[in-house]
Amino acid sequence: MVYYKTAEEIEFLRESCLIVCKALETVAAELKPGITGAQIDALAETVIRDHGAVPGFKGYNDFPATLCISVNEGVVHGIPNNTPFKEGDVVSVDCGSIKNGFYGDSAFTFAIGHVGEDIMKLLQVTNTSLYLAIEKAVAGNRIGDISYAVQQYCEKEHGYGVVRELVGHGIGRELHEPPEVPNFGKRGRGMLLKEGLTIAIEPM
């Protein structure tokens, strides 16, 4: 069942998301060759707890860490470890928090030092596809309009494939709520978007 939020609930959710942003900002400042996933995981947890929240992923389905860290070919859900990052690594950092009963959830992909032009293009195209999708996330549109925006830009315009096995999702009192938000689809199809719906759009 889709859960539409009140204005007050959206503010609670926004606060949790801003805490996630602060944690990711801290991670961004520290990411460099030689640092480990376990180290930045500890930093992120400290930031989250210092802001009166708790890590959203730690303990979720027995996940052992604050951050999901996936390196290079890894897509999502990697567990932080003690392997140092090296020059040229591409590191996806996914972070969640809970405050006032609402989740925040956001991810960013970082290039460690210098990476090739092909990698930079992939990162830039994926980032742009997110903002194209956000433009379609308005009341009166449909889920398919969001999905199509990602697929059209990544696949049709730039020749990349999108991940079909993993999707974006609703978010609120639960980390994963209906509806699913795929990165592929047809315009004008899927659930109608209404005021109060809160979703995580996750191009991959």
For residue 191, the domain's CATH number is: 3.90.230.10
Single residue among 84, 115, 146 that ends a domain in this structure: 115
Asked if 97 and 163 sit in the same domain, the reply is no
* Domain count along the chain: 2
Residue type for position 58: K
Asked if 103 and 126 sit in the same domain, the reply is no
The stretch 27-49 carries a mean pLDDT of 98
Structure tokens at 31: 């990411």
Q: Is the pLDDT of residue 74 over 80?
A: no
Residue type for position 22: K
The stretch 126-135 carries a mean pLDDT of 98
The domain in which residue 49 lies consists of: 1-115
**Beta bridge partner(s), residue 54:** 98
Output the pTM of the full model: 0.95
Contact assessment for residue 182 and residue 172, using Cβ atoms and an 8 Å cutoff = no
Asked if 27 and 104 sit in the same domain, the reply is yes
Q: Is the pLDDT of residue 130 over 80?
A: yes
User: What does the alpha-carbon distance between residue 65 and residue 92 come to, in Å, rounded to a whole number?
Assistant: 15
What is the average pLDDT value for the chain, to the nearest integer?
97
pLDDT tens for 144-179 read 999 999 999 999 999 999 999 999 999 999 999 999
